[in-house]
Amino acid sequence: MEIIDVTPRLRMLRFPVGQAYVWRDGDALTVVDTGTAGHADRIAALGRVERIVLTHCHDDHIGSAAALRAATGAPVHAHRADAPVIRGEAPRPTPVIPPGERELFDRVTPTVPRAPRSPVDREVEEGDVLDFGDGARVLSIPGHTPGSIAIHLPAHGVLFTGDTVATGEGAPIPGVFNTDRPRLLESVRRLLDLDPAVLCVGHGDPVLGGTRSA
């Protein structure tokens, strides 16, 4: 696990596949996504994990959620539409893979282990405010999955997008492997209209400044 300091209160955790973020309020940590299975102990060792927020139900984002919850007692938060998948009560949504994404999908998918099912302690919705980052706003951004969410910290100009946005050659791009690409593009426009100072994407490097113009 590679730890990258993004701001004094924000770290990115990079794994062989996928990444996660850790936001610090004093000595309390909020973990946004958990990477693939097998990383819970290393995440827990970073400090007192107070909550776990999952941006969507894909295995490379929820893989260590169950074990991290068990190790820390931190509650898991996810959107109500993806929560049944995370709990193992519903099948994973099937992405629509266009020809331009097929090679990448076929190459990456076999390398991602299936995530253990995890409890979801709180189902969140559009407009909910979570108690970290001086008020973390939940945004419903369907398209990548039906229950994809973003987390916006207006007081700090930080936006966590999950896989709705990625970065390519340092610039924001729409995410891939989506269930509904037209809806995803609507969600991307909504997020970039926020013009965050720090854009924390699901894959690739964070974007610092100039997000909307990029």
**pLDDT tens string 59-97:** 999 999 999 999 999 999 999 999 999 999 999 999 999
Q: Is the pLDDT of residue 134 over 80?
A: yes
The model's pTM is: 0.96
3-state secondary structure of 60: helix
What residue spans define the domains of the chain?
2-90+119-208
Average pLDDT over residues 1-22: 96
List the alpha helices (DSSP H) in 91-163.
99-108
Contact between 30 and 43 under an 8 Å Cβ cutoff? The reply is no
Q: Is the pLDDT of residue 157 over 90?
A: yes
- Model pLDDT, residue 210: 79
Which runs of E-coded beta strand occur in 33-164? 48-53, 76-79, 122-124, 129-130, 136-140, 149-153, 158-162
Which runs of E-coded beta strand occur in the chain? 2-7, 10-14, 19-25, 28-32, 48-53, 76-79, 122-124, 129-130, 136-140, 149-153, 158-162, 165-168, 171-174, 198-201, 207-208
Q: Is the pLDDT of residue 166 over 80?
A: yes
Superfamily for 2-90+119-208? Ribonuclease Z/Hydroxyacylglutathione hydrolase-like (3.60.15.10)
Contact between 67 and 37 under an 8 Å Cβ cutoff? The reply is yes
